[in-house]
Amino acid sequence: MARLTKRIVDAALAQASDYFIWDDDVPGFGLRVFATGRKSYVIQYRSGGRTRRMTFAKAGVMTPDEARKQAKELLVDVTKGGNPSEERRVYSQAPTIGALCDRFLAEHVAHHCKPSTQAEYRRNVKIFIKPAIGSHKVQDITRQDIARLHQAYKHIPYQANRTLGVLSKLFNLAEEWGLRPDGSNPCRHVKKYREEKRERYLKPDELQRLGRVLSDVEREGTESPYVAAAYRLLILTGCRLGEIQTLKWDYIRGNALELPDSKTGAKKVYLGTAALDVLAFIKRQDDNPYVICGKVPGHYATDFQKPWQRIRKLAGIENVRIHDLRHSFASGAVGLGESLPMIGKLLGHSQVQTTARYAHLADDPVHSAAERVSQEIAKSLFSPSTTASAS
């Protein structure tokens, strides 16, 4: 026993086996000298009826006085019921965010999410979450960490907000699985970025150009006739891409599509004559249950973005997304005077608020009606005879 000083630490030489030099000022604090010559500061205490020992710093990194101070703090924690050695062991075995992501995808996403949602979650995890914080311990992540990650993608606010949503779900499950205390989700109070909603609808002349291009690429064989038919069905039904992409012939019942699953669950889509005509011209493959056949036998087409980029360029509508075809269907319905509840039913919306985004489109036909009425009245109000009488 001796008071550990720098001279004693420096003079301690390696022996055939490890040995300890204990400090006589702080019981339980000592220096461990390894047979290799390495030296570390340790504490030794009793907890749960057992003697515990924990290395907490390398000699040389801390001075003996600094190590003695930290040893005191650790041993005080022991007197309060703590067990620093066990706490360190538990921490060392605690999962990282990367491991939590893997469990999240395997145990939750794979069983509770639709295929399109699964793909989006996997994409967020792979590209945005794991590279940024994948090596961090789950319990170490703070709100500042999440805010920093969110801010890193402020130039793409939509993606930043989607990633924040995935992280929030991830940490909710971490609490449910006992990996973080209840109510500790670090995503709370991280404010989402404002997203500019894209309102793009095809005008009549744009629809005409798109129709001509679709006919041209089919006739020339430069694009798949199945993919071209899919674009037509999207315009004529207002369906989501996934609903047409995975459409099976068995789902077609008379003048309707009876989809067993969609974003909002089972859904019935009524078909107009034009949509039925498109379906009638699609060549059915005996060994493929899907309407929109892909290159792989027995499977549906998977690549719609690249053909669409080529087609929209030819049609002069480069800023139109595939999802805007669904918006255009809604726009056409509003223009014909259909009510918002009816449009919501046509589109398969589960919430009125979702359909309400199209309410402003009703201004166009109302404005046109006001123009027609005012012009008709103006014919009499400003007629030559009226002007002459006034003079």
Q: Are 272 and 235 in contact (CB under 8 A)?
A: no
SS3 helix, strand, coil % of the chain, rounded to 5? 55, 10, 35
Task: Give residue 342's pLDDT.
Answer: 76
Q: Are 215 and 311 in contact (CB under 8 A)?
A: no
pLDDT at 245 over 80: yes
Each domain of the chain, given as residue ranges in start order, spans 6-93, 97-176, 204-364
Count CA atoms closer than 13 A to 312's CA, side-chain side.
Answer: 17
User: How does pLDDT run across 149-201, given as a tens digit for each residue?
Assistant: 999 999 999 999 999 999 999 999 999 998 888 999 999 999 999 887 766 78
pLDDT at 385 over 90: no
Residue 41 CA to its chain's centroid (Å): 46
What is 204-364's CATH number? Answer: 1.10.443.10
Task: Give residue 130's pLDDT.
Answer: 96
Q: Which of 149-163, 201-215, 315-329, 363-377 has the lowest mean pLDDT?
A: 363-377
Task: Give residue 360's pLDDT.
Answer: 60
* Nearest-angstrom CA–CA distance, 88 and 77: 13
Side chain identity at 315, as an amino acid letter?
A
Fold type of domain 6-93: Double Stranded RNA Binding Domain (3.30.160)
pLDDT at 122 over 70: yes
The pLDDT-based confidence of 297 (bands split at 50, 70, 90) is very high
What is 97-176's CATH number? Answer: 1.10.150
Buried b (16+ CB within 10 A) or exposed e, 249-283: eebbeeeebebeebeeeebebebeeebeebbeebe
Task: Give residue 104's pLDDT.
Answer: 95
Share of the chain above pLDDT 70, in %: 87
